[in-house]
Amino acid sequence: MTRTAFGQGCHLGFRFVGRCLVEFAARSPGSPERGSAGSLGRLSSVVAMALYGPVDRLDDAQAADVVTLASRAGLAIGHTPVGDEDWARRSGSGDDGFGAAWATGADGKLVAYVQALRSPADPSWSAELLIDADERSRTADLGAPLLSAVLRLVGQHGGGTVHLWAAGGGPAHAEVAARAGLEPHRTLHQMSRPLPTGLHSSVPLRAFVVGQDEEQALEVNRRAFADHPDQGGMTLAMLEERMAEPWFDPAGFLISEIDGRIAGFCWTKLFLGSDPLVGEIHVICVDPDFAGRRLGHELVVAGLDHLAGRGATIGMLFVEGDNTAALALYERLGFEITRTDRSWTTTVATST
Ligand SMILES: CC(C)(COP(=O)(O)OP(=O)(O)OC[C@H]1O[C@@H](n2cnc3c(N)ncnc32)[C@H](O)[C@@H]1OP(=O)(O)O)[C@@H](O)C(=O)NCCC(=O)NCCS
Protein backbone atom coordinates (compact mmCIF):
# COMPACT_ATOMS: atom_id res chain seq x y z
CA MET A 1 0.00 0.00 0.00
CA THR A 2 1.26 3.47 -0.85
CA ARG A 3 2.15 5.39 2.26
CA THR A 4 0.84 8.95 2.30
CA ALA A 5 2.44 10.65 5.26
CA PHE A 6 0.88 13.69 6.87
CA GLY A 7 2.26 16.84 5.30
CA GLN A 8 3.20 15.04 2.08
CA GLY A 9 0.70 14.70 -0.68
CA CYS A 10 -2.08 16.11 1.44
CA HIS A 11 -2.95 18.45 -1.42
CA LEU A 12 -3.84 15.39 -3.50
CA GLY A 13 -7.53 15.20 -2.86
CA PHE A 14 -7.34 16.93 0.51
CA ARG A 15 -8.33 20.53 0.99
CA PHE A 16 -5.57 22.74 2.31
CA VAL A 17 -6.91 25.04 5.02
CA GLY A 18 -3.96 27.38 5.21
CA ARG A 19 -0.66 28.14 6.86
CA CYS A 20 -1.07 29.66 10.27
CA LEU A 21 2.30 31.23 10.93
CA VAL A 22 0.96 34.76 10.70
CA GLU A 23 -1.95 33.99 13.02
CA PHE A 24 0.42 32.69 15.69
CA ALA A 25 2.49 35.85 15.54
CA ALA A 26 -0.52 38.12 15.58
CA ARG A 27 -2.48 36.37 18.32
CA SER A 28 0.10 35.35 20.86
CA PRO A 29 0.08 37.92 23.66
CA GLY A 30 3.50 39.48 23.98
CA SER A 31 4.76 37.89 20.78
CA PRO A 32 7.04 40.03 18.62
CA GLU A 33 5.57 42.07 15.81
CA ARG A 34 4.98 40.14 12.64
CA GLY A 35 8.12 40.18 10.51
CA SER A 36 10.29 41.91 13.06
CA ALA A 37 13.89 40.72 13.28
CA GLY A 38 13.36 39.67 16.86
CA SER A 39 10.65 37.26 15.86
CA LEU A 40 12.78 35.06 13.62
CA GLY A 41 14.00 32.64 16.25
CA ARG A 42 10.55 32.14 17.67
CA LEU A 43 8.85 31.86 14.32
CA SER A 44 11.38 29.59 12.68
CA SER A 45 9.98 26.67 14.64
CA VAL A 46 6.50 27.17 13.20
CA VAL A 47 7.36 28.44 9.75
CA ALA A 48 6.14 25.29 8.02
CA MET A 49 3.15 24.64 10.29
CA ALA A 50 0.19 23.99 8.02
CA LEU A 51 -3.43 23.03 8.46
CA TYR A 52 -5.19 20.45 6.32
CA GLY A 53 -8.75 19.30 5.88
CA PRO A 54 -11.52 18.76 6.48
CA VAL A 55 -11.60 15.25 5.03
CA ASP A 56 -14.04 12.41 5.47
CA ARG A 57 -11.49 9.59 5.40
CA LEU A 58 -7.92 8.83 6.43
CA ASP A 59 -5.64 6.41 4.63
CA ASP A 60 -3.86 3.68 6.59
CA ALA A 61 -0.65 5.65 7.10
CA GLN A 62 -2.52 8.72 8.28
CA ALA A 63 -4.56 6.61 10.68
CA ALA A 64 -1.32 5.15 12.06
CA ASP A 65 0.08 8.66 12.53
CA VAL A 66 -3.07 9.71 14.41
CA VAL A 67 -2.68 6.73 16.75
CA THR A 68 0.96 7.74 17.35
CA LEU A 69 -0.13 11.32 18.05
CA ALA A 70 -2.74 10.05 20.52
CA SER A 71 0.04 8.43 22.54
CA ARG A 72 2.20 11.56 22.34
CA ALA A 73 -0.82 13.59 23.43
CA GLY A 74 -0.80 11.58 26.66
CA LEU A 75 -4.37 10.31 26.58
CA ALA A 76 -5.37 8.33 29.62
CA ILE A 77 -6.94 4.90 29.55
CA GLY A 78 -10.70 4.96 29.30
CA HIS A 79 -10.64 7.95 27.03
CA THR A 80 -9.20 6.73 23.76
CA PRO A 81 -11.06 8.39 20.90
CA VAL A 82 -8.88 6.80 18.21
CA GLY A 83 -7.23 3.48 17.53
CA ASP A 84 -9.91 0.88 18.15
CA GLU A 85 -11.43 -1.30 15.44
CA ASP A 86 -14.58 0.79 15.11
CA TRP A 87 -12.55 3.98 14.67
CA ALA A 88 -10.26 2.31 12.10
CA ARG A 89 -13.26 1.14 10.09
CA ARG A 90 -15.11 4.44 10.19
CA SER A 91 -12.14 6.75 9.64
CA GLY A 92 -11.01 4.72 6.67
CA SER A 93 -14.29 4.20 4.87
CA GLY A 94 -15.44 7.66 3.79
CA ASP A 95 -18.29 7.31 6.30
CA ASP A 96 -20.42 10.47 6.21
CA GLY A 97 -20.35 10.41 10.01
CA PHE A 98 -16.62 11.07 10.18
CA GLY A 99 -14.61 14.24 9.64
CA ALA A 100 -11.02 15.23 10.42
CA ALA A 101 -8.57 18.09 10.03
CA TRP A 102 -4.97 18.35 11.19
CA ALA A 103 -1.80 20.39 11.43
CA THR A 104 1.73 19.35 10.56
CA GLY A 105 5.01 20.78 11.74
CA ALA A 106 8.06 21.85 9.75
CA ASP A 107 9.11 18.24 9.17
CA GLY A 108 5.65 17.15 8.05
CA LYS A 109 5.03 15.47 11.40
CA LEU A 110 1.44 15.43 12.62
CA VAL A 111 1.22 17.76 15.62
CA ALA A 112 -2.50 18.49 16.04
CA TYR A 113 -5.62 16.63 14.97
CA VAL A 114 -9.36 17.21 15.32
CA GLN A 115 -12.03 14.71 14.43
CA ALA A 116 -15.79 14.46 14.72
CA LEU A 117 -17.60 11.13 14.79
CA ARG A 118 -21.36 10.87 14.57
CA SER A 119 -22.83 8.40 17.02
CA PRO A 120 -24.40 5.56 15.04
CA ALA A 121 -27.24 5.36 17.56
CA ASP A 122 -28.22 9.01 17.94
CA PRO A 123 -27.78 12.13 15.83
CA SER A 124 -25.06 13.77 17.94
CA TRP A 125 -21.36 14.06 17.10
CA SER A 126 -18.39 13.61 19.40
CA ALA A 127 -15.38 15.78 18.59
CA GLU A 128 -11.85 15.28 19.85
CA LEU A 129 -8.72 17.37 19.75
CA LEU A 130 -5.30 15.72 19.97
CA ILE A 131 -2.25 17.90 20.36
CA ASP A 132 1.37 16.84 20.56
CA ALA A 133 2.72 17.39 24.08
CA ASP A 134 5.47 19.61 22.59
CA GLU A 135 2.88 21.88 20.94
CA ARG A 136 0.55 22.41 23.90
CA SER A 137 1.33 26.10 24.05
CA ARG A 138 -0.31 26.37 20.60
CA THR A 139 -3.42 24.38 21.47
CA ALA A 140 -5.79 27.30 20.88
CA ASP A 141 -4.12 28.58 17.71
CA LEU A 142 -4.02 25.15 16.12
CA GLY A 143 -7.18 23.67 17.60
CA ALA A 144 -9.64 26.48 16.83
CA PRO A 145 -9.20 26.57 13.02
CA LEU A 146 -9.09 22.77 12.86
CA LEU A 147 -12.29 22.47 14.87
CA SER A 148 -13.99 25.15 12.76
CA ALA A 149 -13.02 23.23 9.61
CA VAL A 150 -14.43 19.99 11.02
CA LEU A 151 -17.66 21.77 12.07
CA ARG A 152 -18.10 22.92 8.47
CA LEU A 153 -17.89 19.31 7.34
CA VAL A 154 -20.41 18.31 10.03
CA GLY A 155 -22.78 20.90 8.54
CA GLN A 156 -22.30 19.44 5.08
CA HIS A 157 -23.02 15.99 6.50
CA GLY A 158 -26.39 16.92 7.97
CA GLY A 159 -25.32 18.94 11.02
CA GLY A 160 -26.39 18.13 14.56
CA THR A 161 -25.24 18.60 18.12
CA VAL A 162 -21.47 18.39 18.54
CA HIS A 163 -19.72 17.71 21.84
CA LEU A 164 -16.03 18.49 22.07
CA TRP A 165 -14.29 16.46 24.77
CA ALA A 166 -10.98 17.35 26.33
CA ALA A 167 -9.22 14.82 28.53
CA GLY A 168 -7.90 16.80 31.45
CA GLY A 169 -9.33 19.78 29.56
CA GLY A 170 -7.83 23.04 30.68
CA PRO A 171 -8.00 26.70 29.69
CA ALA A 172 -6.46 26.12 26.26
CA HIS A 173 -9.23 23.71 25.28
CA ALA A 174 -11.79 26.18 26.62
CA GLU A 175 -10.23 28.79 24.35
CA VAL A 176 -10.46 26.42 21.35
CA ALA A 177 -14.12 25.79 22.12
CA ALA A 178 -14.92 29.47 22.63
CA ARG A 179 -13.22 30.54 19.40
CA ALA A 180 -15.13 27.87 17.49
CA GLY A 181 -18.44 28.97 19.09
CA LEU A 182 -19.01 26.11 21.54
CA GLU A 183 -20.52 26.50 25.03
CA PRO A 184 -19.34 24.70 28.20
CA HIS A 185 -21.37 21.53 28.75
CA ARG A 186 -20.19 18.72 31.05
CA THR A 187 -17.49 18.09 33.66
CA LEU A 188 -16.49 14.46 34.03
CA HIS A 189 -14.17 13.15 36.73
CA GLN A 190 -12.15 10.00 36.32
CA MET A 191 -11.76 8.34 39.74
CA SER A 192 -9.50 5.42 40.60
CA ARG A 193 -8.50 3.20 43.49
CA PRO A 194 -6.28 0.15 43.91
CA LEU A 195 -7.78 -3.35 43.81
CA PRO A 196 -8.67 -5.55 45.56
CA THR A 197 -10.70 -3.59 48.09
CA GLY A 198 -10.92 -6.41 50.62
CA LEU A 199 -14.71 -5.88 50.63
CA HIS A 200 -17.32 -8.38 49.46
CA SER A 201 -20.97 -7.78 48.71
CA SER A 202 -23.57 -9.46 50.88
CA VAL A 203 -26.57 -9.06 48.55
CA PRO A 204 -27.65 -11.68 45.98
CA LEU A 205 -26.71 -10.69 42.44
CA ARG A 206 -26.86 -12.48 39.11
CA ALA A 207 -25.26 -12.07 35.68
CA PHE A 208 -27.01 -10.22 32.85
CA VAL A 209 -28.92 -12.53 30.52
CA VAL A 210 -28.51 -11.47 26.89
CA GLY A 211 -31.85 -11.42 25.08
CA GLN A 212 -33.81 -11.18 28.32
CA ASP A 213 -32.63 -8.22 30.42
CA GLU A 214 -32.05 -5.47 27.84
CA GLU A 215 -35.38 -3.64 28.04
CA GLN A 216 -35.65 -3.72 31.84
CA ALA A 217 -32.05 -2.65 32.32
CA LEU A 218 -32.63 0.28 29.93
CA GLU A 219 -35.73 1.26 31.88
CA VAL A 220 -33.81 1.28 35.17
CA ASN A 221 -31.03 3.25 33.49
CA ARG A 222 -33.57 5.78 32.17
CA ARG A 223 -35.28 6.19 35.55
CA ALA A 224 -32.05 6.38 37.57
CA PHE A 225 -30.42 8.88 35.20
CA ALA A 226 -33.53 11.01 34.71
CA ASP A 227 -31.50 14.07 35.77
CA HIS A 228 -28.58 13.15 33.49
CA PRO A 229 -30.12 12.82 30.01
CA ASP A 230 -26.74 12.14 28.38
CA GLN A 231 -26.60 8.84 30.26
CA GLY A 232 -30.30 8.21 30.75
CA GLY A 233 -30.96 8.34 27.02
CA MET A 234 -29.27 5.03 26.27
CA THR A 235 -31.26 3.19 23.60
CA LEU A 236 -31.42 -0.49 22.73
CA ALA A 237 -29.24 0.20 19.68
CA MET A 238 -26.60 1.88 21.87
CA LEU A 239 -26.70 -0.96 24.37
CA GLU A 240 -26.38 -3.59 21.65
CA GLU A 241 -23.52 -1.66 20.08
CA ARG A 242 -21.59 -1.84 23.35
CA MET A 243 -22.54 -5.46 23.92
CA ALA A 244 -21.00 -6.29 20.54
CA GLU A 245 -17.61 -4.97 21.64
CA PRO A 246 -14.85 -7.48 22.49
CA TRP A 247 -14.71 -6.55 26.18
CA PHE A 248 -18.39 -7.27 26.82
CA ASP A 249 -18.91 -10.08 29.32
CA PRO A 250 -22.40 -10.81 30.74
CA ALA A 251 -20.73 -12.22 33.89
CA GLY A 252 -19.36 -8.73 34.56
CA PHE A 253 -22.82 -7.14 34.21
CA LEU A 254 -24.18 -7.71 37.70
CA ILE A 255 -27.92 -7.47 38.29
CA SER A 256 -29.78 -7.01 41.55
CA GLU A 257 -33.29 -8.42 41.23
CA ILE A 258 -35.84 -7.65 43.93
CA ASP A 259 -39.48 -8.81 43.79
CA GLY A 260 -39.00 -10.07 40.23
CA ARG A 261 -37.72 -6.79 38.80
CA ILE A 262 -34.31 -5.30 38.21
CA ALA A 263 -33.62 -2.98 41.15
CA GLY A 264 -30.16 -1.93 40.01
CA PHE A 265 -27.10 -3.09 38.16
CA CYS A 266 -23.35 -2.67 37.99
CA TRP A 267 -21.88 -3.14 34.52
CA THR A 268 -18.12 -3.59 34.59
CA LYS A 269 -15.55 -3.36 31.82
CA LEU A 270 -12.03 -4.77 31.71
CA PHE A 271 -9.52 -2.80 29.64
CA LEU A 272 -8.09 -5.92 28.06
CA GLY A 273 -4.37 -5.61 27.44
CA SER A 274 -3.85 -2.67 29.80
CA ASP A 275 -0.86 -2.97 32.10
CA PRO A 276 -1.52 -2.77 34.99
CA LEU A 277 -4.91 -4.26 34.26
CA VAL A 278 -7.63 -1.61 34.70
CA GLY A 279 -11.24 -2.50 35.46
CA GLU A 280 -13.99 0.05 35.08
CA ILE A 281 -17.34 0.48 36.78
CA HIS A 282 -18.84 1.18 33.37
CA VAL A 283 -22.46 1.87 34.39
CA ILE A 284 -23.92 1.71 37.90
CA CYS A 285 -27.48 2.61 38.69
CA VAL A 286 -30.21 1.89 41.17
CA ASP A 287 -33.89 2.33 40.35
CA PRO A 288 -35.26 5.30 42.37
CA ASP A 289 -37.78 2.91 44.00
CA PHE A 290 -34.82 1.14 45.66
CA ALA A 291 -32.53 4.14 46.32
CA GLY A 292 -31.00 4.83 49.71
CA ARG A 293 -30.90 1.17 50.82
CA ARG A 294 -27.15 0.82 50.28
CA LEU A 295 -27.79 -1.16 47.10
CA GLY A 296 -25.55 1.22 45.14
CA HIS A 297 -22.77 0.60 47.66
CA GLU A 298 -23.22 -3.18 47.43
CA LEU A 299 -23.27 -3.14 43.63
CA VAL A 300 -20.04 -1.14 43.39
CA VAL A 301 -18.37 -3.42 45.96
CA ALA A 302 -19.49 -6.47 43.95
CA GLY A 303 -18.35 -4.92 40.67
CA LEU A 304 -14.90 -4.16 42.06
CA ASP A 305 -14.72 -7.66 43.53
CA HIS A 306 -15.55 -9.13 40.12
CA LEU A 307 -12.89 -6.99 38.40
CA ALA A 308 -10.26 -7.92 40.99
CA GLY A 309 -11.16 -11.58 40.47
CA ARG A 310 -10.37 -11.11 36.77
CA GLY A 311 -6.94 -9.74 37.67
CA ALA A 312 -7.57 -5.98 37.65
CA THR A 313 -5.36 -4.10 40.09
CA ILE A 314 -6.88 -0.68 39.43
CA GLY A 315 -10.56 0.17 39.72
CA MET A 316 -11.62 3.14 37.64
CA LEU A 317 -14.82 4.99 36.75
CA PHE A 318 -16.12 8.22 35.29
CA VAL A 319 -18.63 10.39 37.14
CA GLU A 320 -20.30 13.69 36.35
CA GLY A 321 -19.00 16.60 38.41
CA ASP A 322 -22.52 17.45 39.63
CA ASN A 323 -23.49 13.90 40.66
CA THR A 324 -23.14 14.41 44.40
CA ALA A 325 -24.75 11.08 45.37
CA ALA A 326 -22.36 9.05 43.23
CA LEU A 327 -19.32 11.14 44.20
CA ALA A 328 -20.10 10.58 47.87
CA LEU A 329 -20.54 6.86 47.27
CA TYR A 330 -17.20 6.52 45.48
CA GLU A 331 -15.28 8.66 47.95
CA ARG A 332 -16.56 6.49 50.78
CA LEU A 333 -15.18 3.50 48.89
CA GLY A 334 -11.72 5.02 48.62
CA PHE A 335 -11.85 6.38 45.07
CA GLU A 336 -9.90 9.54 44.32
CA ILE A 337 -10.20 11.91 41.37
CA THR A 338 -7.35 11.17 38.97
CA ARG A 339 -8.38 13.37 36.07
CA THR A 340 -11.14 15.80 35.11
CA ASP A 341 -12.45 15.95 31.54
CA ARG A 342 -14.63 18.73 30.22
CA SER A 343 -16.92 19.06 27.25
CA TRP A 344 -18.31 21.92 25.20
CA THR A 345 -21.21 21.81 22.81
CA THR A 346 -22.81 23.51 19.84
CA THR A 347 -25.52 22.69 17.33
CA VAL A 348 -24.42 22.86 13.72
CA ALA A 349 -27.02 23.64 11.08
CA THR A 350 -27.19 21.64 7.87
CA SER A 351 -25.28 23.34 5.08
CA THR A 352 -24.57 22.54 1.47
C1 LIG B 1 -25.50 6.74 42.84
C2 LIG B 1 -26.45 5.61 43.17
C3 LIG B 1 -26.00 4.35 42.43
C4 LIG B 1 -26.43 5.37 44.66
O5 LIG B 1 -27.27 4.25 44.92
P6 LIG B 1 -28.08 4.10 46.29
O7 LIG B 1 -28.42 2.67 46.43
O8 LIG B 1 -29.17 5.07 46.33
O9 LIG B 1 -26.97 4.55 47.34
P10 LIG B 1 -26.64 3.85 48.70
O11 LIG B 1 -27.90 3.72 49.49
O12 LIG B 1 -25.87 2.60 48.48
O13 LIG B 1 -25.73 4.91 49.37
C14 LIG B 1 -24.33 4.80 49.28
C15 LIG B 1 -23.70 6.10 49.64
O16 LIG B 1 -24.01 7.04 48.62
C17 LIG B 1 -24.19 8.31 49.20
N18 LIG B 1 -25.48 8.80 48.78
C19 LIG B 1 -26.51 8.09 48.31
N20 LIG B 1 -27.50 8.89 47.94
C21 LIG B 1 -27.09 10.14 48.18
C22 LIG B 1 -27.65 11.42 47.97
N23 LIG B 1 -28.87 11.57 47.43
N24 LIG B 1 -26.92 12.50 48.31
C25 LIG B 1 -25.68 12.38 48.80
N26 LIG B 1 -25.09 11.19 49.03
C27 LIG B 1 -25.79 10.09 48.70
C28 LIG B 1 -24.04 8.14 50.67
O29 LIG B 1 -22.69 8.52 50.97
C30 LIG B 1 -24.19 6.69 50.93
O31 LIG B 1 -23.35 6.19 51.90
P32 LIG B 1 -23.71 6.30 53.48
O33 LIG B 1 -25.19 6.06 53.58
O34 LIG B 1 -22.87 5.24 54.07
O35 LIG B 1 -23.30 7.68 53.83
C36 LIG B 1 -27.91 5.98 42.79
O37 LIG B 1 -28.23 7.20 43.36
C38 LIG B 1 -28.15 6.08 41.31
O39 LIG B 1 -28.45 5.09 40.64
N40 LIG B 1 -28.03 7.29 40.79
C41 LIG B 1 -28.30 7.51 39.38
C42 LIG B 1 -27.28 6.84 38.51
C43 LIG B 1 -25.91 7.34 38.81
O44 LIG B 1 -25.70 8.50 39.06
N45 LIG B 1 -24.93 6.43 38.75
C46 LIG B 1 -23.54 6.76 38.93
C47 LIG B 1 -22.96 7.27 37.69
S48 LIG B 1 -21.22 7.48 37.79
DSSP character string of 175-200: HHHHHTT-EEEEEEEEEEEES--S--
141 Rama sector, left if φ>0, alpha if ψ -120 to 50, beta otherwise: alpha
Kindly state the helix (H) or strand (E) to which residue 130 belongs, with its residue range.
strand 125-131
Q: Whose CA is nearest to atom 22 of ligand 1?
A: 325
Q: Which pLDDT tens digit goes with each residue over 260-301?
A: 999 999 999 999 989 999 999 999 999 999 999 999 999 999
277 and 144 in a single domain? The answer is no
Domain hosting 22: range is 16-181
Identify which of 186, 269, 329, 331 to mutate to test ligand 1's pocket (most ligand atoms within 8 A of the CB).
Answer: 329
Flag whether pLDDT at 29 surpasses 60. Answer: no
Q: Which pLDDT tens digit goes with each residue over 41-97?
A: 233 344 457 899 899 999 999 999 999 998 877 665 555 678 777 888 889 988 889
Collapsing DSSP to helix, strand or coil, 65 comes out as: helix
Q: Are the beta carbons of 195 and 313 closer than 8 angstroms?
A: yes
229 and 261 in a single domain? The answer is yes
pLDDT at 166: 81
User: How many distinct structural domains can be found in the chain?
Assistant: 2
Domain contains 9: no
Cα 257 to middle of ligand 1, angstroms: 18
Confidence of residue 333 (pLDDT cuts 50, 70, 90): very high
Domain contains 6: no
Q: Are the beta carbons of 69 and 59 closer than 8 angstroms?
A: no
State mean pLDDT over 177-188.
94
Kindly state the helix (H) or strand (E) to which residue 245 belongs, with its residue range.
none
Beta pairing class for 160-166 and 125-131:
parallel
Weakest mean pLDDT among 31-35, 126-130, 262-266, 326-330: 31-35
Integer Cα distance of 193 and 196 in angstroms: 9
Q: Which residues line ligand 1 (CB under 6 A)?
A: 224-225, 284-286, 291-297, 319, 323-326, 328-329, 332
Q: Which amino acid is at 107?
A: D
Q: Are the beta carbons of 298 and 254 closer than 8 angstroms?
A: no
Q: Whose CA is nearest to atom 23 of ligand 1?
A: 325
177 and 196 in a single domain? The answer is no
80 and 161 in a single domain? The answer is yes
Integer Cα distance of 17 and 145 in angstroms: 8
Q: Which amino acid is at 17?
A: V
- Final residue in a domain of this structure, among 161, 181, 201: 181
What atom of ligand 1 comes closest to residue 283's alpha carbon?
47
Domain contains 4: no
pLDDT at 121: 66
120 and 76 in a single domain? The answer is yes
Domain contains 100: yes
Closest CA to 89 of 58, 112, 110, 48: 58
Mean pLDDT estimate for the chain: 83
pLDDT at 74: 65
Domain contains 349: no
Secondary structure E strands in 196-335? 206-207, 253-258, 261-270, 278-286, 314-320
Cα 330 to middle of ligand 1, angstroms: 9
The dihedral sign for the CA sequence 321, 326, 332, 334: negative
Flag whether pLDDT at 258 surpasses 50. Answer: yes
Cα 325 to middle of ligand 1, angstroms: 4
Cα 228 to middle of ligand 1, angstroms: 14
Integer Cα distance of 218 and 260 in angstroms: 16
Domain contains 3: no
214 and 153 in a single domain? The answer is no
Which CATH number belongs to the domain containing residue 24 in this structure? 3.40.630.30
